[in-house]
Structure 1
Amino acid sequence: MTTEEKLNLIYEIRESRQKDRVFELIEMLKNESEDIVKESLVEALKILKNEDAIEKLMEFFYSEDLYLRNAAVTILAEYGELSISYLMKKLDDENEHVRKLAIDTIHMIRNPITVDILAKGLEDKSINNLISVIEYIADLEGYHYSNKIAEILEESRDPFLTITCLEALSEIGDEYSLEVVKKKFPDPSKIDDFTLPAYMRFLASHATVEFLPFVIEVLNEKSEIFYKELIDILERFVNMKNELSDSDVEKVYSALLKLLNTSIPSMNKYEVFGLIVELRGESAKDLILEMLNSNDFFIKMGALEAVGKLFKGNREIVEKLKNFLKREVNEELKMVARDILEILDR
């Protein structure tokens, strides 16, 4: 058949919903070489869901052809619940690559029960498969498996598995996870730079004030490498400000101020400045006014936003803004300043 004839045949089978011809389409896909025809076959097989064909489609999991393996994942994911019981059996397959394809397919189905099915893969002997399962459980918000993942972290000797566990627990972990992480890394200052970003992302969602000295240590030594992670952790401390002692609040403020004065990107300085304003409120007035004189566009924008948020009706600030308008050359900043002046004058 010509390409056009093949496409017309596939179209006819698909549009007339001839599910009994799915096996014919599978056979065509197995032997087809033209991409346009293969893509048309895959789309047709995604639509024509025939449970009797599931095991035939899963034979592609064993194919040496990467396209066929990936096509099987895509098609069977569209089958949804129909394919779940068949895929579960493949989680016990001797071939770790077949197990991985089954894991990927189950994850793509995203049915409410799939996280519990995927959890079976937490016993997989393949590190690569185990890493995928942990990632997928976190993605599906499988909070009730956080303890099991924490236990895997505790025993992990593989750096990639360790990082995956930390990343997952940053999303679904709890107090038990925090205790395991503290036990796993009793001296955070000795964590290697490969693991450190994942560890810090975990802290961004679970850190308590006891980690503040470590955070300050990283800031002093590696702020230009890990500034994004530092910002996220410091944001957590800012959100905890009512639970912190006055001295710890000052430490957080000093850390933010130091980060603001490093050579991190301007957009990130804007984030840091926003955290300072959130932490100190009106007591940051002098710094806010000082930042109106900054040479950095984003810092000046942050200062303007802080003025509009905190100082309504303050005549001193109104005069400062008027002076800002006289000297500022950036039209976007001037427009924002005018809008804020209108708000302050109300």
Structure 2
Amino acid sequence: MTPESARALSTLALDTRRRADSGRPDTPAPVSGSHVTVVVKPEVMTARYAAGMLAEAIGALGRQEVAVLRCAVTPAADFAARGDLFLHYPRLHRVAADGAAALTSYARDSLDALRQRTHTPDVLAAYEAMAHGDLSPGALEERCRAAGIHKLGSGSYASVTEVNDRPVTVLNGFLPALSEGYRAPGSLVGLLECHSERPVAELRDHVLGELHPLRSHPDSLRGTLGAAAREHGIALSEGRNAVHLSAGHLEGMFQNWRYFSAKDGDSLGGTSLGRSLADAGVHLGAVAALATDPDLTDGRGRTLAPHGATENLDRDEVVHLVGQWVTIEKELAV
């Protein structure tokens, strides 16, 4: 993929109001290195600037030794309406809706420690907090970010703030506003299937950049798009941070499968990590059950999030862990 071809796809998606796709790459991603998805988000993919922003992202990736194998551009509203946004952030959404019941054992321990430290026993999920406090998504996010956001675990965050003039701990209070951003009229989402021989942890640290684009290194993805956004008068923040890059090999496999391979009719075995898992004798049908980031047991009676537990690990470590989980789940089912 080149910046010029990405521009053409953006223009086509805007004209047709439908997904535009560069198509199956000539050769599949190698069974080595890192195979991830990059998502260019609607806050920078506005109708006016989408083509240029997507081209900037592809240029920045190329300069960081990341090859873009395939590109698709889709209306942001369709991305949300078809369930892609929920499946992209499954645990973020569950915690925002179900609260503490959706936390893993490890995240619940972190929540309990935060509540004891701040003397704030009451906990509300994001959507409960909106309903109880008659808050808009934007007002809730502003309140939570002003109070500070504490990471409890994968996809699980807490803010100690006030709702109806009483102190509460709000879980994933930024999520409703994030979701609302995908409903902006005319905005698009850019989807990039990427491969690099650089470790995934290095891609997260150096290629993606810091959470806030305006504080990120100029050569990083977020730094590059942050600079372009500033030129166009587009406001970015920690919540609206322009771009996502898969947090690990497992998440990257499911995202690349969902956005690309599945649309070609391919199974998980058509992905880079899927081939590695199959070569290791791991049953891919059982692996598919991990796509929605369900709670898994660690074998000691505690639960963990598979997507979070594989963040930043190298390929061999992920293959080993996933093989262990599939075996444990099979034994528990007997």
Q: Same fold (TM over 0.5)?
A: no
Higher strand share goes to which structure?
Answer: 2
TM-score, structure 2 normalization: 0.23
Tell which structure's C-alpha radius of gyration is larger. Answer: 1
**Higher relative contact order, structure no. (Cα contacts within 8 Å, ≥ 6 residues apart):** 2
